[in-house]
A and B are shown apart, each in its own frame.
Chain A
């Protein structure tokens, strides 16, 4: 016998002793060992070497040879493979390769295989120690959330507190930025968003789903009563029953209806981490099963995606800007900052928490002037002050045109830039001056539209034209959130980039930004963002292929079902059986013009909806449509895998209770989304990567999302394919190994300490300033692999991602768009379909309601769960035992309606009614009201169509798209009326309204 064979034989014998030794030394290992009696066979394909292991009552014996009836078999093609794979530490590259090429095969009962793999992995993982013991007897763990990193103090399996992470001497952090003779440095701690600090209350919320449940009148084998969804209440069932129902239904759908019958839909991001994420564990599950995907529209980018990108490219960022180096450039060079529909103090640049707030004070100290163009004197305006121009919502483009009109007439623009870096300006100019349409777009002309005086707009235009100006648009200053989400969003975003082009975009002190982006962090340190697909193995629909798939060996996964439904049209797809969508495809600006249809040729229509998380009722415009959809008999089964009972969960037939991220392992980096948001870590003062500890055991019978998907897969025989035999801890280590972390912090230390601060960038190595290369006519020198090489019309790295390589005032791509009435190549100001000019509607509903991104909850994640955010005075108002969502009403409008501060009011239009508490304020211009979207509650008083006590403002917003040929949502603005509302006698407190069995 050769050496390798001998070695293999020895290893197989040794394994028995390894199990026994480990069982002696570790109680947890012993406990796992005791869980199962079974026989596992390990052998070569030709049976030349074989050994089986008999596990019984926590004891293990092994024998050479073949067992007649093993529950699980691990079969290797040959000795080489077996020796390589069985020699620790696990070599995942070899293991995955062998698996993909049938050189190792696991056969038998999926549960037994999962148990055995865990046992084998435990030999190593059992020794892992994590968390830091504290003097008061608690253990301090680490977590990463949508709002930033947290330390989590735990005692007796209970979370005592969640706190920010203060950096220590062990962390290389801190930097200094000099500007105009002053130096600025960030605080040496992670400054989180408020919603991060309410997570403890969220974990222990009374809205937690703690047991699997079934709708009382849903019988999978008989009457399913779809018409009662949302009404009939639930009974508790066992996990076995729940998993049986779901896995049987998956098989039934595929066998009765055929491919495409199951739709998988996910909500906005309710948790954080690279493993248990929708683009990771969920995507892997969907691909394993084969699903109709419910695909996103670029919700928060709309105007930039469907509009702005045609002028200058950046399709890979969905039309938004990169923001590189803009923090330092703004502090050093800019003289005026225009916040145009930009409120970073509310939306925190998406994930950056309050890291950027103090920078706005620095700018103030430097004397940088500020203007806010916003119908709402928003928290950012309150914080930094400056000139407020309370523009009428939806008319922003008119003001932008008038500013350009003044610039053209008074020569206040960058002629050199226009001549050398742009095309189409002459044609554009003719429109602005009214040569083409007879309407000179003067400040006087815009005043009628915007409500802002001609003299102020002229003054602004002159100030802007003379001063080096930063234009902040949306959440992070360069194209995300804000006015791009209303019916005029496409126009607005197009106008914004044209303003910038007229002022020499990229010149020192002239750029997009609101101080949120462009901090000097080390952008090239590799750690994947969530957009890079985590463990999904999905190479097309995530950013996995570029780095993640190459760096972390794992099995690829493919969804064979080529049928999709645009999320904006999911209700129509189910109710009408037809939907038209346009792809969110960032590879090129042209790809968004390609329609797709549901149903896709040859595929079944959808008859089962698997919903992961629940937020549609309040995050998607025109959301009463979803209520009708859920009650349709077309949907034979609705599964909701969710953490909390939220507005939408109550429409499911089967509820699978998932635990929060505090109850499972994960790994993730703060504000690292990757993909469309590549380098959003540049918003932070410091990059922080966390080992997301499992802080406590899952509450009740809840399980991690990964575990739930795995358990379903086991019932379909897909368990080993899905998991690769890895638990979440194993996956976390696999992710860790794929990154640059091991070069800086050992696994052991990372496990214990829980986080790593990436050392800041040194002076000579910082990224350049966004667009500076273009302004100066150099090859592109930014660390973004965008656009794709073929996206350059001329030489690689030269020019923008447009046909001409220049900024195009009249985009060639829009000229080629078929049916471009709503997106004409020469931008035209058109009045919004639902605004003051919609005469009949406006007479009935004379208030414009802004529905902005939430401030105190990340989408629906923290809201409405009896968590502490409910008590934030600007979030909800407690009245008669119920927390009402807030609508902000201008004082004059309130007085005219007899509404006092914190009175209950009915906000309504033809689409529905929402009951809110009124915040009577001077911070709204007359005729305008404001509320946040993403209420986690949907509580119609008495069934569909009756007033909602929960605060789902999107019941009121239009489902119409911004433009034909797009799925650009227009949900952030609508017309309403507001009236005082009295709670009817005897109306039960809605918190307790919907009993569900426990």
Chain B
């Protein structure tokens, strides 16, 4: 049985919010019996775009990525108390019955991802339904991927085994795997969100003038081992990316026994760090 998944590429998202807006467009004022009751007019971000900033000016990056109900295979929201209220379809889509769920505010807290939204007016818990009503009418993909201008969202309908294989091959990740919920939304380049970097800039004096120090080898050490080496760019900038936060005491030093102001530097980063400018000695 082929099932629906989303593959999100963090690097391709420009935060245009087209995905967010079409879900508002689809469910604003529209009732789809058997699928979803109308969305509240205000708030209600069933499908929303998150932002992550790393570093400090001037060495920063900012990433955006959509999040929504993950249509988990081992969904914490599906339990004894929601039997017959929350159901999983054969194509993987998780629906909250808009009739039987009436008044069940307790359901909201059952999603550890925070993707069940309370509709106060209708007294209903609601999730993003993968536009199942449209897929059932023959639409080729949900609207969120259809309107995404850059391919940051791809909707794929494949066998679970094929999806698992693809995830392994492409290094796709799901959110909070420790929950064991088996989400069906996969992320590529999620390192941009949950990994950190250490960066800095180097300058040198040439002919009495301060210049960017290009082509200097910089090393990153952890627990007495050299983890990585990089070379400064035209602007004298260097960056070690993809580090786990709070993963130990790192040391940034120059190769070939060179030194710069402030380097070597030791740090235990919990978030991305810009070490600022070091002048080569």
Contacts and interface: CB of A to CB of B under 8 A. Distances in A.
Interface of A: 135-136, 160-164, 166, 187, 189, 191-194, 197-198, 200-201, 204, 345, 353-355, 357-358, 361, 377, 379, 381-383, 385, 387-390, 453-456, 458-460, 462-463, 856, 866, 868-874, 878, 890-891, 921-926
Interface stretch (B15-23, B75-83, B155-163, B255-263): B15-23
B15 A379 contact: yes
- Residue of A160, A353, A458, A459 with most chain B CB atoms under a 10 A cut-off: A459
Given A201-B25, A357-B149, A455-B211, A192 B44 contact: no
28 contacts: A160-B30, A162-B25, A163-B25, A164-B147, A197-B22, A198-B24, A200-B28, A354-B14, A357-B16, A357-B149, A357-B150, A387-B235, A388-B57, A388-B59, A455-B209, A455-B210, A455-B211, A455-B212, A455-B236, A459-B211, A459-B235, A462-B234, A868-B20, A868-B21, A871-B20, A878-B42, A922-B57, A923-B60
A388 B54 CA distance: 14
B12 interface: yes
A926 B57 contact: yes
Interface string B206-220: 000111101000000
Given A357-B16, A453-B210, 6 more contacts: A163-B22, A361-B12, A381-B62, A387-B237, A455-B209, A460-B235
A871 B60 contact: no
Contact of B25 (A161, A463, A870, A873): A161
Nearest to B27: A161
A382 B62 contact: yes
Contacts of B58: 388-390, 925
A463 B21 contact: no
Nearest to A356: B149
A462 B233 CA distance: 13
Contacts of A922: 53, 55-57, 60, 62
A923 B14 contact: no
Interface of B: 11-18, 20-22, 24-26, 28-30, 41-45, 48-49, 51, 53, 55-64, 137-138, 143, 146-147, 149-151, 203, 209-212, 214, 233-237
Given A377-B60, A923-B57, A204 B29 contact: yes
A866 B42 contact: yes
Nearest to A891: B56
A89 B234 CA distance: 69
A617 to B, nearest CB: 24
A197 B211 contact: no
- Residue of B21, B55, B64, B151 with most chain A CB atoms under a 10 A cut-off: B21
Given A198-B25, A382-B64, A921 B53 contact: yes
A156 to B, nearest CB: 12
Contacts of A871: 20, 24, 42-45
A459 B20 CA distance: 41
Contact of B143 (A163, A389, A890): A163
A354 B149 contact: yes
Contacts of B211: 455, 458-459
Contact of A377 (B45, B57, B150): B57
A872 B138 contact: no
Contacts of B61: 382, 385
B17 A856 contact: yes
B245 to A, nearest CB: 16
Contacts of B15: 345, 379, 382-383, 874
B269 to A, nearest CB: 15
Given A164-B147, A382-B63, A923-B60, A354 B43 contact: no
B205 to A, nearest CB: 10
Given A382-B63, A926-B57, A868 B28 contact: yes
B48 A873 contact: yes
A377 B62 contact: yes
B210 to A, nearest CB: 5
Given A454-B210, A923-B62, A872 B21 contact: yes
B138 A135 contact: yes
Contacts, number: 157
B16 A194 contact: yes
Contacts of A200: 25, 28
Contacts of B41: 866
Contacts of B149: 187, 191, 353-355, 357-358
Nearest to B11: A361
B18 A192 contact: yes
A616 to B, nearest CB: 27
- Residue of A164, A382, A460, A874 with most chain B CB atoms under a 10 A cut-off: A382
Contact of A872 (B20, B234, B235): B20
Contacts of A462: 234
A174 to B, nearest CB: 16
A459 B212 contact: yes
Nearest to A454: B210
B254 to A, nearest CB: 18
Contacts of B13: 383
Contact of B16 (A354, A890, A924): A354
A868 B41 CA distance: 8
Nearest to A135: B137
Contacts of A201: 24-25, 28
Nearest to B211: A455
Contacts of B16: 193-194, 345, 354, 357
Contact of B60 (A162, A388, A455, A856): A388
A460 B43 CA distance: 44
5 tightest Cβ-Cβ pairs between the two chains A and B: A354-B149, A868-B24, A382-B62, A191-B149, A197-B21
